[in-house]
Protein backbone atom coordinates (compact mmCIF):
# COMPACT_ATOMS: atom_id res chain seq x y z
CA UNK A 1 0.00 0.00 0.00
CA UNK A 2 2.90 2.33 0.57
CA UNK A 3 3.64 2.54 -3.13
CA UNK A 4 0.05 3.22 -4.16
CA UNK A 5 0.55 6.97 -4.46
CA UNK A 6 3.17 6.52 -7.11
CA UNK A 7 0.83 4.37 -9.14
CA UNK A 8 -1.99 6.85 -8.89
CA UNK A 9 0.17 9.55 -10.41
CA UNK A 10 0.69 7.60 -13.59
CA UNK A 11 -1.69 8.25 -16.44
CA UNK A 12 -3.75 5.12 -16.77
CA UNK A 13 -7.37 4.09 -16.86
CA UNK A 14 -7.27 2.59 -13.40
CA UNK A 15 -9.17 5.26 -11.49
CA UNK A 16 -12.49 3.54 -12.09
CA UNK A 17 -11.03 0.33 -10.79
CA UNK A 18 -9.85 1.93 -7.60
CA UNK A 19 -11.74 -0.35 -5.27
CA UNK A 20 -10.78 -3.47 -7.12
CA UNK A 21 -7.22 -2.27 -7.31
CA UNK A 22 -7.02 -1.57 -3.60
CA UNK A 23 -8.13 -5.06 -2.86
CA UNK A 24 -5.47 -6.51 -5.10
CA UNK A 25 -2.78 -4.13 -3.91
CA UNK A 26 -2.70 -5.60 -0.45
CA UNK A 27 -0.83 -8.63 -1.59
CA UNK A 28 -0.21 -7.33 -5.05
CA UNK A 29 2.20 -4.70 -6.21
CA UNK A 30 3.90 -4.26 -2.86
CA UNK A 31 3.98 -7.96 -2.14
CA UNK A 32 5.39 -10.95 -3.86
CA UNK A 33 3.91 -13.20 -6.49
CA UNK A 34 3.88 -16.94 -6.63
CA UNK A 35 4.49 -17.02 -10.33
CA UNK A 36 4.90 -14.87 -13.41
CA UNK A 37 1.36 -15.43 -14.56
CA UNK A 38 0.09 -13.57 -11.51
CA UNK A 39 2.44 -10.71 -12.31
CA UNK A 40 1.37 -10.48 -15.94
CA UNK A 41 -2.29 -10.78 -15.01
CA UNK A 42 -1.93 -7.93 -12.58
CA UNK A 43 0.04 -5.72 -14.95
CA UNK A 44 -2.60 -6.26 -17.62
CA UNK A 45 -5.41 -5.61 -15.15
CA UNK A 46 -3.84 -2.33 -14.10
CA UNK A 47 -3.41 -1.29 -17.71
CA UNK A 48 0.37 -1.21 -17.55
CA UNK A 49 1.15 -4.03 -19.94
CA UNK A 50 1.84 -1.71 -22.88
CA UNK A 51 3.23 1.17 -20.88
CA UNK A 52 6.90 2.01 -20.92
CA UNK A 53 8.90 1.24 -17.83
CA UNK A 54 10.71 4.06 -16.01
CA UNK A 55 13.82 2.72 -17.63
CA UNK A 56 14.29 -0.22 -20.00
CA UNK A 57 15.95 -3.25 -18.47
CA UNK A 58 18.18 -5.73 -20.21
CA UNK A 59 17.09 -9.11 -18.96
CA UNK A 60 17.89 -12.71 -19.66
CA UNK A 61 14.91 -14.62 -20.98
CA UNK A 62 13.70 -17.09 -18.38
CA UNK A 63 12.99 -19.54 -21.13
CA UNK A 64 15.81 -19.55 -23.68
CA UNK A 65 18.39 -17.36 -21.87
CA UNK A 66 18.43 -14.88 -24.73
CA UNK A 67 19.17 -11.36 -23.53
CA UNK A 68 16.66 -8.77 -24.63
CA UNK A 69 15.57 -5.31 -23.57
CA UNK A 70 12.34 -5.11 -21.67
CA UNK A 71 10.80 -1.70 -22.31
CA UNK A 72 7.25 -2.25 -21.12
CA UNK A 73 5.88 -3.81 -17.97
CA UNK A 74 4.97 -6.81 -20.05
CA UNK A 75 7.85 -8.01 -22.19
CA UNK A 76 8.01 -10.76 -24.78
CA UNK A 77 11.23 -12.51 -25.67
CA UNK A 78 11.90 -11.90 -29.37
CA UNK A 79 13.33 -15.39 -29.74
CA UNK A 80 10.99 -17.78 -27.94
CA UNK A 81 8.03 -15.49 -27.10
CA UNK A 82 8.32 -16.13 -23.40
CA UNK A 83 6.16 -13.53 -21.68
CA UNK A 84 7.71 -11.66 -18.76
CA UNK A 85 6.08 -9.23 -16.40
CA UNK A 86 7.02 -6.87 -13.62
CA UNK A 87 4.85 -4.60 -11.50
CA UNK A 88 5.48 -0.83 -11.64
CA UNK A 89 6.63 -0.81 -8.02
CA UNK A 90 9.36 -3.32 -8.78
CA UNK A 91 10.35 -2.24 -12.27
CA UNK A 92 13.76 -0.94 -11.21
CA UNK A 93 15.21 -4.35 -10.47
CA UNK A 94 15.41 -7.05 -13.13
CA UNK A 95 15.40 -9.64 -10.35
CA UNK A 96 11.73 -8.85 -9.87
CA UNK A 97 10.82 -9.72 -13.44
CA UNK A 98 9.04 -13.05 -13.66
CA UNK A 99 8.15 -15.26 -16.58
CA UNK A 100 4.55 -16.28 -17.21
CA UNK A 101 5.14 -18.77 -20.00
CA UNK A 102 5.66 -18.91 -23.74
CA UNK A 103 2.83 -17.22 -25.59
CA UNK A 104 0.99 -16.51 -22.35
Q: What residues line the site for Zn ion (CB under 5 A)?
A: 61, 63-64, 66, 77, 79-80, 82
Of 7 and 82, nearer to Zn ion (C-beta) is 82
Q: How far is the CB of 91 from Zn ion (least distance, A)?
A: 20
Alpha-carbon distances, residue 7 vs 3, 14, 51 (angstroms): 7, 9, 12
Q: Are 66 and 78 in contact (CB under 8 A)?
A: yes
Q: Are 100 and 83 in contact (CB under 8 A)?
A: yes
Q: How far is the CB of 94 from Zn ion (least distance, A)?
A: 15
Of 80 and 89, nearer to Zn ion (C-beta) is 80
Amino acid sequence: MLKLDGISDLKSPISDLKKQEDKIMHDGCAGSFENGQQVVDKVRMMGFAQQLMPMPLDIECHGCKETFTMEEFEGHCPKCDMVHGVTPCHAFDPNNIMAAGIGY
